[in-house]
Amino acid sequence: MTAISQPINDIYRTESRRILATLVRLLGDIELAEDAMQDAFNEALNHWPVKGMPDNPRAWLISTGRFKAIDRLRRQAKFSTYAELPDDHQIDMQDDPALQDEQSIVDDQLRLIFTCCHPALSAEARVALTLREVCGMSTEQIASAFLQSTTTLAQRIVRAKSKIRQAGIPYEVPEQEDLPERLDAVLQVIYLLFNEGYSASSGENLLRQELSNEAIRLGKLLLSLLPNAEIQGLLGLMLLHESRRHARMDDDGDMILLEEQNRALWDKQLIEHGVALVEQALKSGEFGAYSLQAAIAAVHCEAESASDTDWAQIILLYDKLLELTPSPVIELNRAVAIAMRDGPTDGLKLLHQLQQQPALKNYYWLQSAKADLYRRAGDKQNALKHYQQALGLTEQAAEQRFLKKRIAQLS
């Protein structure tokens, strides 16, 4: 049992969201699909140690989940004509016609994203539901991304599921003319999914490669479906951040700040691809917030060193970004950029003003930024104070280790 349980855990981590998305397509109900997926993984835990892992585990789990759901419905006397789950459970792609289209399985997550981002749902409900059901983020992680309470987010997700079921919202990528009205929510989902993979909100590891890879895959798929400047901007942004992945951690899994990273480790091919996408988006004149964020990332990536960074250009881009999407987090990033250009004292003045913003009251990055600027200014006492406050606000183990190192250095 032990020998097979780890591969099952690995499959759950890497494939469960695609399996769920396909089960939603086959069953037409998110909650039924969730139950079916759990039943399928439980069945795998019982079955695979005895008869071995199937050649196509994902297809086996999808088919098993589908039959388990049919069984569940039959027992409820709703669909009495469906067959029982086969005794040997030896199910593969050839046994189930619904699974023969591999491309359908690959694209099911994008279909489910568009379903969850239906205009009938509120904007925040769309994103929260999609991150939970399609991307597998926990309610706590989503609440952290929204700077809201876990209870509020959980209630929003439950209401959104109910609305989809009651309104009969179809499971499909909408027609070309209907895509734009859902695009903002879809882009936000992909962006937050990437962020959770690039800088996890909790857990032992800062990086979750499978989430970042999935976000980039979905971004490329979406761009092929709907050529659009903001999709180009978002994909460019993700590629530019991804280019720095291997320089962000040391051999012990500890964080390395941008200014201290070995830029020789940055992926030049990803940078070139990302910059090209950003330039295309900006030239279109129809760009938005993601393209501007990508332009900021491009300035960082094109600098030979931290000291060569064009902070004036970055501040100008943050000004434009604030005009489009006013946000205390963007103001925080702008304040740090000003500190890098004009000195820590000027940055600290702006951060003290931002402290009054309710959304940033318990925001880890605000305390961490203040601590860093106090450290740069030579004020060890205040730097220690804010590093300690930041330490109490993060559940990310790599961030905690980094803060403890800073505290030890100052102490």
β-strand pairing of 202-203 with 395-396: parallel
Tell me what the mean pLDDT of segment 126-138 comes to: 79
Share of the chain above pLDDT 90, in %: 39
DSSP-derived secondary structure for 52-107: ---SSHHHHHHHHHHHHHHHHHHHTTS-TTSPPPPTT----TTT-GGG--HHHHHH
Whole-prediction pTM value?
0.76
Specify the pLDDT at position 82: 45
Place of tokens 């991307």: 135
Tell me what the mean pLDDT of segment 35-48 comes to: 92
The three-state secondary structure class of 395 is strand
Place of tokens 């992680």: 141
Nearest to 211 by CA among 13, 8, 57: 13
Distance between CA atoms of residues 405 and 241, nearest Å:
25
Q: What is the pLDDT of residues 212-261, one digit of tens each?
A: 888 898 899 888 877 889 999 999 999 999 999 999 988 887 888 898 99
Place of tokens 């830029």: 263
What are phi and psi for residue 249, nearest 5 degrees? -130, 145
Distance between CA atoms of residues 329 and 391, nearest Å:
19
Neighbouring-strand partners of residue 249: 255
Nearest to 169 by CA among 30, 37, 73: 30
Structure tokens of 131?
Answer: 């991150």
Are residues 39 and 62 in contact, defined by beta-carbon separation less than 8 angstroms? no
Burial environment of residue 68 by CB neighbours within 10 A (0 to 12, 13 to 18, 19 or more): buried
Place of tokens 């780890």: 6
Residue 86 has pLDDT above 50, yes or no: no
Specify the pLDDT at position 85: 44
Torsion over CA of 361, 362, 367 and 369, rounded to 10 degrees? -80
Place of tokens 């700077």: 147
The three-state secondary structure class of 163 is helix
Residue 362 has pLDDT above 60, yes or no: yes
Distance between CA atoms of residues 215 and 237, nearest Å:
11
Query: DSSP label at 249?
Result: B
Residue 172 has pLDDT above 80, yes or no: no
Confidence band, pLDDT 50/70/90 cuts, at residue 98: very low
Confidence band, pLDDT 50/70/90 cuts, at residue 25: confident
Q: What is the pLDDT of residues 378-409, one digit of tens each?
A: 999 999 999 999 999 988 888 899 999 999 99
Distance between CA atoms of residues 279 and 100, nearest Å:
40
Higher-confidence residue: 155 or 320?
320
Q: How many CB atoms lie within 10 A of CB 39?
A: 19
Place of tokens 């094109």: 302
The three-state secondary structure class of 255 is strand
Q: What is the pLDDT of residues 268-326, one digit of tens each?
A: 999 999 999 999 999 998 889 999 999 999 999 999 988 899 999 999 999 999 999 99
Tell me what the mean pLDDT of segment 96-122 comes to: 68
Nearest to 291 by CA among 254, 223, 332, 237: 237
Are residues 249 and 276 in contact, defined by beta-carbon separation less than 8 angstroms? no
Q: For the chain, what is the mean pLDDT?
A: 84
Residue 97 has pLDDT above 70, yes or no: no
